[in-house]
Each structure stands twice: as structure tokens, then as C-alpha cells.
Amino acid sequence: MAQTSLLGTSGDAPASDLPDGVATAELFASGAASAVELLDEAIARADRLNPEINAIIGRLDDSARQAAKRHDAARDAGSVGGPLAGVPFLTKDLTCTTEGQPYHAGNAALKDAGYAASSTAHLATMFAALGLVNFGRTNTPEFGLTITTEPTAYGPTANPWNTDHSTGGSSGGSAAAVAAGIVPIAHANDGGGSIRVPAANCGLFGLKPNRGRVSLGPDSGDGWAGFSVDGVVSRSVRDSARVLDGISQPWPGDPYWAPPPSDTFESAAGREPQALRVGLCAHSEWGPTDAACRRAVEAAGQLAESLSHEVEYSHPAEMFHEEFFDHFRTIVSVQNVVMLAGFEEALGRAMSRPDVEGDTWALMELGRDVSATQYLAALEWCHGWTRRLAAWWASHDVLVSPIMAEPPPRLGELRNPETGRGRLNDLLQFTPQFNVSGQPAMSVPLSRTESGLPVGVQFVGPHASEEMLLSLAGQLERAAPWAGRTPPLWAGTA
């Protein structure tokens, strides 16, 4: 029998009966639901589903309820309090800190020490200003360093589409929670694919914003030398667009920021794009690409062509440069040595090999052997490579490619001490390039494997082109809706 709730019905109800974030905010603003009621329902969904997927690793129910009560009081006094006021939300346990709250970044030593954040990130402040009600922290691989969410500290997060498979990483906990319907939107960040890969694996929309679009203050100027940026994963394009409008403000002291849009990102998501010049890249030059991923790109090209876009097979000549990963790895390894030193200072002791996972320690050792001259040379190589890569967009508007070279792998594949690193190289062939270049890129849930696993498709625009990408995403969403696709582990089923 279907169960009735404020958000519609569950049981055999369609996915549309669990509204997206914008619709949930409208329920609150209209008085059809209180923020406390919306929170209680999200908590109930988490209590029921999280034991099966391990998406949420820390709960903040008490502080969330206090925030929900403040939203209710403000609304009753005539002030709605933000464009997403009353919407239940989750933050990834990486970078988005709130002073005094637990912060472990997927690391067992920080967890065992009961480490808490010493400052509140500007991003957390902006999420609160949007009216989002954060009631938990989501799972992440240790320090966000891989594309599967299976940290020693908290254990693996399972994919709601098939719990034998990975959600991706590093925003895998957030993606699993949104895919399962616990919340409509959750925080994510991306330093090598960590928004786009989990979105692809879990059948969600995920936009990696342009470099400098979202402040990393007050503790950081730029993450991973500008490779990393924050955002969200969501079920609808308009949810991501509305959040981006709220978190894309520059803060005093930011080293740089992206050019402002001509209009709101949400309005861009609702309007038709002009005819675009689209280049398809269905294969990697670094290794084989699974047939399901190639078909997804080809089908996306056919859909774009049916929408009057000009489509051809083309990609930047620099996209698969043989030196790329050497320089990428150099920069990331040094950045993580600096990060680890910050945690050592906070803990008041040195961190040794038992304090971190094996792959993390290997990366740290690599970083410690890099000289300042080598680091700056790698950064300069990346800057020159970016200029050569970006030249392709002078004759094209959008690049379409797979997100990963294979569909979602099974849990354990990327954690195998003997074969995991090789499997990582097999999969991660299409996303890190656009962290280095800083361009906006998005995963759109347009395809599935024959067994029903999601396969996302990547769309990459030139610098500061989020408006164009969101317009295209909205058009694709209207032409090939995905809201009705739900995983077996879904909040709308009893």
C-alpha cells in the first residue's frame, strides 16, 4: 500500500512525487509544509535507506532542526529566508567546514581524534543563506583522492542502482543520497572528476563550475592550484542552477573569480540555447573505451542533432597528451603534502604511515620529493597546455565525451592493492583535463547499460560558459527527461 507524505505518495508512486529542490522550496514558501516537517521526512528517509548505502557518515539532526525552526518562524513573520529555504540538504565531508562540527575528510586518524573544524567555509555560509537545511555529512574517499567512495575510516558507499557497484568518487556519499531520494540536492566538489563521476555513476546531473566561480575561503585561495571547485549534485538542472546562483559570489581576498553571468544561471537553464557547434569524442587515446560509454556519446550526438545543433566527430588535439598525468600528479601530490601538514598542526603531532591509507601515503611520498622548481615547472606546463587545449573552442561550442571509460565498476575493484591503481588509470581518462584547464563541464544522465546502470555523458564548454551549458542541459532534460528513472533503492518505494 502506498504511504502518504507531505511530498506526495510513496510505494508504487512515480519519481515526480518526490519533488526536486525548487519544488520543495515552493512547498515551504506556500505554507504547504513546514521546514521542520520537510526535515523530519528527510531524516526518516535517511534512517530507512542509509544503512543499505552508507552515504551519510555523520548526522547533524539537532542543529538542522534548530535551523528549520528558524525558517518556520521567519516565514510565519513574513520572510521566506532564501530561494531554497526549508530544503533538506547534506554536505560532503570535504572542504565545506562549519566551525565546531566534526570534519574528517575520510581519514581514520582525524576520525579517531574527534577532529572538528576550526572555521566556517564561505561555502557553508552561502549554502545557509540559500536556506538549505544541512542535517549531515556525506562519505568521501580519504582526502578525496580517488573516484570510488570506499574509505577505511567509514567503509564503502553503495550505489542505489546496484549495491554491488561503486557510486564513484570523491562525492560518492552525496551522489548516493540524492540518487536514493534522501535529499534532492547535496554538496559536492571536483578536483579530477569528483562531481561528474558520481553524477554519472548514480544517474544525476552534476555541473563542475568554472575555476574561480565558487570561493574556497577563508582557509584556501585555490584548491589544488585551481584544479578543484565546489558545487552540487542534483536530480534536476534547475536545482543545480539555483544553487550556483547562490554560491557564485566573490568574497574579499579571493585571488581571482570567474566573470559574472549576463543573467541568472537559473534563467539560463530555462531558455533554449542557440544552435551550437558540437564535437564528439567517443574514444580515448590513452586506452580502450567501453562500448556502452561510446554508445552513450553517440546517442547524445544524435539527440543534439535532432535539436538543431551542428555535430561532428572532433576533439582538442591536446586532450590526451602523453605528459598530462605526470604534471597533474606532481601538482596534486605537493598540494596534499601541504594539506597533511595543516592537519598535523591542528592535531599537534606528526602523521605517519599508519595514519593514512597506502595510496595516500605513496602520493605524499611523491610530493615530498618534488622540488619547488619542479612544482612551478609542472604548473607552467599546465598553463601552456591549457592555452593549446582551449584553442579548439574557437571553432566549437561544446565537447561531448564519456565521463569514464567504463560503466560504474564493482566495489573493491579500485581498492585492490595489486590492481586498483591500474583500474583507476583504465577509468579516469576524460575528466581531469578540465580541472587543469578550469573550464566548466557537466555530467548529464542520458544513458544506461543493458543491465540498468547509469552512464553519464560529459559536456564541456569554453571558459566561463556555465550559462550556455545550463541552457543546453535544460534543453536535453526537456527532450529526454530522466526524472522518472529511479533506482531500486529509492525513497519513493516502501
The closest of 53, 233, 166, 193 to 408, measured between CA atoms, is 166
Cis peptide bond upstream of 218, omega within 30: yes
- The label of the residue with cell 565531508 reads 93
Residue 208 bears catalytic tag: no
The closest of 40, 50, 43 to 154, measured between CA atoms, is 50
Ranges of beta strands (E only) in 99-250 are 133-138, 158-159, 162-166, 185-190, 205-208, 229-234
The active-site residue, picked from 34, 166, 170, 437, is 170
At 218, the amino acid letter reads P
The active-site residue, picked from 5, 34, 166, 194, is 194
Cβ neighbors of 112 (< 8 A, separation 6 or more) are: none
Q: Tell me the CB-side half-sphere exposure of residue 229, using CA atoms within 13 A.
A: 31
Give, as one character, the DSSP assignment of residue 228: B
- The residues that bridge with 8 in the sheet, in sequence order, are 5
Burial of 443-478, coded b for 16+ CB within 10 Å and e otherwise, reads bbbbbbbeeebbbbbbbbbbbbbbbbbbbbbbbbbe
Contact between 361 and 340 (Cβ < 8 Å):
no
- The label of the residue with cell 530555462 reads 270
Helix (H/G/I), strand (E/B), else coil: 282: coil
User: How far lies 101's CA from each of 108, 115, 117, in Å?
Assistant: 16, 8, 6
Helix (H/G/I), strand (E/B), else coil: 223: strand
Cβ neighbors of 15 (< 8 A, separation 6 or more) are: 181, 483, 484, 485, 486, 490, 492
Give, as one character, the DSSP assignment of residue 423: H
The active-site residue, picked from 10, 34, 92, 447, is 92
Residue 194 bears catalytic tag: yes
Contact between 325 and 352 (Cβ < 8 Å):
no
Strand pairing class (229-234; 205-208): antiparallel
Burial of 136-160, coded b for 16+ CB within 10 Å and e otherwise, reads bbbbbbbbbbbbbbbbbbbebbbbb
Contact between 401 and 281 (Cβ < 8 Å):
yes
Contact between 473 and 204 (Cβ < 8 Å):
no
Q: Grid coordinates standing for 379?
A: 604548473
Residue 170 bears catalytic tag: yes
d(CA 41, CA 28): 13
Catalytic residues: 92, 170, 194
